[in-house]
Structure 1
């Protein structure tokens, strides 16, 4: 008497997806404020704390190339300081533009540096 053994191939586990970090979320939010235009060319993060608050200070460098992108960068410059960000468990306590460099020739290009202070929101 023969017994038939049926072996089912185990399905592969779903691929692991990388969790978005706070830095990822911040970059996405800043670029969204610039209508998805521009590119983050630098991002530095440093722990920050006072007697009552803890958080991180982020310094970002962005580049906008082309007339449409430069216009989006100008909107970012105007809107960033007063923008209400929606980053889970974080409060953007301060957002400032620290430097802007623009050129028109041979093509429109603008570099923007900004600093954001994020506080942990319990």
Structure 2
């Protein structure tokens, strides 16, 4: 795993959301199968305000089919784990997603 790979992922996710997200949490754990190695990354991202919510909804719609460009890595799976909407004190949305990265051979 290259240093900063999670930052490439975060930038790509935020770009998909129109730059409106704020990272709340990131967790990374090693992953391996019989033939591949990689890592799983879980991101919790906050979106505050109506425009940011629109960006989050774009991210949700586009994530499963998005082709990521992460140096040395292939995003093998991208899943939305949870979406929490809130109305007060300001409209917002919190999104949790998980991405499986596999090292390129």
User: TM tier, shorter chain?
Assistant: over 0.9
Return the TM-score normalized by structure 2.
Answer: 0.94
The answer for the alignment partner of 2:79 in structure 1 is 96
Greater RCO (CA < 8 Å, at least 6 residues apart): 2
Unaligned runs of 5+ in 1: 1-18
Deviation at 1:73, TM superposition (A): 0.3
Q: Is 1:32 matched up with 2:15?
A: yes
| Higher deviation after alignment, 79-88 or 101-110 | 101-110
Alignment counterpart, residue 33 of structure 2, candidates 39, 47, 50: 50
Q: State the alpha-carbon separation in 2 of the partners of residues 106 and 88 from structure 1.
A: 40
Secondary structure of 2:85 counterpart: strand
Deviation at 1:106, TM superposition (A): 3.3
Unaligned runs of 5+ in 2: none
Alignment counterpart, residue 91 of structure 2, candidates 95, 98, 108: 108
Could you list the per-position Cα deviations for residues 37-78 of structure 1 after superposition, in whole angstroms to 9, with x for gaps in the alignment?
A: 111110000000000100000000000000000000011111
Q: State the alpha-carbon separation in 2 of the partners of residues 112 and 23 from structure 1.
A: 17
Return the TM-score normalized by structure 1.
Answer: 0.81
Secondary structure of 1:27 counterpart: helix
The answer for the alignment partner of 2:67 in structure 1 is 84
Question: Runs ≥4 in structure 1, deviation > 4 angstroms?
Answer: none
Q: Is 1:117 matched up with 2:84?
A: no
Q: State the alpha-carbon separation in 2 of the partners of residues 115 and 84 from structure 1.
A: 15
Structure with the higher fraction of residues in strand conformation: 2
